[in-house]
Structure 1
Amino acid sequence: MRQHRLRSIQTPLLRRALARAWRLLLLGLTLLVVLMPSHGAGARSSADILLLRATADSDPGLTRRFMRLDAREELARAVHFVAANARRRAVADGAFERTGCLALTRVLGRDGFRIWRILTRCRIRIDRPVGEARVAPGTPPLSSKGDEPSQTVAEEDPYEPKGLKVGQFIVKPALEFTTGVDSNPLRLPRGRRSAQTLSAAHELEVRSQFEQHELNADLRLEYNQTQGAPILNGPTVDAKIAGRYDVTDDRAINGELRYALDPVDRVLGMPAGTLVSKPGLTLGASQKIAGVGLSVKALVDRSAFSGARPGDDAPIPNRDRNFTQPAVQARASYGLTPQISPFVDVTLDRRIHELAVDFGGFRRDSAGTLVSAGASFAFPGRLTGELALGYLDRRFADPMLPGLHGMVVNGALVYRPFDKTALILVGSSDTVESVTPGVSGIFRRDLILLAKQEFDPRTSASLSLSFGQDRFAGIARTDDRYAVALGVVYKLAREIQLKADIRQDWLRSTLPNVGSAATKVTLGVRFQY
Structure 2
Amino acid sequence: MKCTFVSAGSDAIGEGPEGLRPIPVTRRVLRIAPWPVTAILLGIASPANAQAIPATSDELAPPWNAQRIFEPSALPDLVDRDNREAVAPEDMPVKKRQQPGYEPVGIRQGSWMFNPSLMTGALYDSNVFASNTQKRGDVAAVIEPSLRAHTLWERHGIDIKLNSRTTAYNENSSLDQTDVSLKGAGWIDIANDMVVLGSFQIAHLNEGVGSLSSPSNAVTPTPYNLMSGDLTVRKEFNRLATSIGARVDSYDYGTARAQDGSLIDQSSRDGQIYALHGRVDYAFSPVLGWFGGVEGNQRNIRGVPGQTLDSTGYRALSGLTVGFGNLLRGEFGGGYVEQRFDNPLIGTVDGPSYRAKLTWSPTRLMDIHVKAEQLVTQTSDTSSTGVLANAVQVGVDYELRRNVILSLAGAYEIDRFFGQARKDRVTTTNASVKYLMNRFSAISAYHRYTSRDSDIPTFSYDKHQVGLNVTAQF
Give the structure-2-normalised TM-score: 0.72
Match of 1:307 in 2: 255
Give the direction of change, closer, same or farther, for the CA distance of 1:103–1:290 in structure 2 (3 Å limit). Answer: closer
Paired with 1:172 and 1:293, the residues of 2 have a C-alpha distance of 33
Q: Any idea what the Cα deviations from partners look like across 1:173-210, whole Å, max 9, x if unmatched?
A: 22111112111111101343211111111233444433
Q: Is the 8 A contact 2:179 2:206 kept in 1?
A: yes
- Mean alpha-carbon deviation: is it higher for 262-271 or for 365-374? 262-271
Secondary structure of 1:336's counterpart equals strand
Secondary structure of 1:492's counterpart equals strand
The answer as to 2:138 corresponding to 1:195 is yes
Match of 2:237 in 1: 289
Match of 2:438 in 1: 493
Higher relative contact order (CA 8 A, sep 6+): 2
Match of 2:363 in 1: 418
Q: Which amino acid aligns with 2:145?
A: H
Match of 2:314 in 1: 369
Alignment of 1:440-519 (within 5 A): 440-444=385-389, 447-519=392-464
Counting helix residues as a fraction of each chain, which structure ranks higher?
1
The answer as to 2:169 corresponding to 1:223 is no
Paired with 1:366 and 1:195, the residues of 2 have a C-alpha distance of 40
Secondary structure of 1:320's counterpart equals helix
Q: Report the number of matched residues.
A: 391
> Unaligned stretches of 5+ in structure 1?
1-66, 68-96, 106-118, 126-149
Secondary structure of 2:459's counterpart equals coil
Paired with 1:505 and 1:419, the residues of 2 have a C-alpha distance of 31
Q: Which amino acid aligns with 2:186?
A: G
The structure whose Rg is larger is 1
Paired with 1:99 and 1:269, the residues of 2 have a C-alpha distance of 41
Paired with 1:338 and 1:352, the residues of 2 have a C-alpha distance of 43
Paired with 1:104 and 1:509, the residues of 2 have a C-alpha distance of 54
Match of 1:398 in 2: 343
Match of 2:197 in 1: 254
Paired with 2:172 and 2:367, the residues of 1 have a C-alpha distance of 37
Instruction: Give the drift of 1:507.
Output: 0.7
Secondary structure of 1:524's counterpart equals strand
Q: Is the 8 A contact 2:316 2:335 kept in 1?
A: yes
Alignment of 1:43-54 (within 5 A): none
Paired with 1:376 and 1:494, the residues of 2 have a C-alpha distance of 36
Q: Which amino acid aligns with 2:238?
A: A
Give the direction of change, closer, same or farther, for the CA distance of 1:177–1:334 in structure 2 (3 Å limit). Answer: same
> Unaligned stretches of 5+ in structure 2?
1-27, 29-73
Instruction: Give the drift of 1:498.
Output: 1.6
Give the direction of change, closer, same or farther, for the CA distance of 1:380–1:206 in structure 2 (3 Å limit). Answer: farther
Q: CA RMSD in A?
A: 3.6
Q: Any idea what the Cα deviations from partners look like across 1:261-293, whole Å, max 9, x if unmatched?
A: 432253335223212322111112122223222
Give the direction of change, closer, same or farther, for the CA distance of 1:525–1:316 in structure 2 (3 Å limit). Answer: closer
Give the direction of change, closer, same or farther, for the CA distance of 1:300–1:410 in structure 2 (3 Å limit). Answer: farther
Match of 1:211 in 2: 154
Match of 1:432 in 2: 378
Give the direction of change, closer, same or farther, for the CA distance of 1:461–1:296 in structure 2 (3 Å limit). Answer: same
Give the direction of change, closer, same or farther, for the CA distance of 1:502–1:377 in structure 2 (3 Å limit). Answer: same
Secondary structure of 1:301's counterpart equals strand
Secondary structure of 2:284's counterpart equals coil
